[in-house]
Structure 1
Amino acid sequence: TRVPKVNAEKVAKILAAAGGRSMYFDTDPATVSETYANGIPSLLVCQPFVVRPEWSNQKQMRGWETLVEEIDRQALAKSEKNWRELE
């Protein structure tokens, strides 16, 4: 749903079920305002590409699969490295 008050109520229920206080992050200012008004520590998050257009470097965002492949590639390279050769 896009109704901020409903979203804030859902957040409150989830955090209550999880037990303990937590922080809520969102990109919707209205929902953050509602959750904050309900006493939930909240933070409004802004993606860099919407802050200022002149700061944009026109890079393409990487897909999740690309990031996972790179992490796997680095883990494999690290596991195959012979640390004794460096001594």
Structure 2
Amino acid sequence: MTNQYFAPIAIAPWETIKELCEEKQLSLDIFAFKIDFSNYVSIVEQNEITEDMALKLESVLEVPAKFFLDLDSQYRETLVRLKRDS
């Protein structure tokens, strides 16, 4: 068995996406518009990052779609581990 690190908290992918927007000096409202959402809150309310959403994020934020899919997967895995271990 290998030693693996498991995060003690689950950070939603949208927090990272918000930081990427800030780095690019892209307002959240304009970001939402660019990926076909009415506002940022409606994006956050989406349950998961789908392949389609990841491709939209890639086109706006210039970060590979796989990054966003992996981020979402890790988030969901952490949620399950935290629930199991509590």
TM-score between both structures, scaled by the size of structure 1: 0.26
User: Per residue, is there more strand in 1 or in 2?
Assistant: 1
Instruction: Give the structure, 1 or 2, with the largest relative contact order (CA under 8 Å, sep 6 or more).
Output: 2
Per the normalisation by structure 2, the TM-score is: 0.26
The structure with the largest helix share of the pair is 2
The structure having more radius of gyration, on CA atoms, is 1
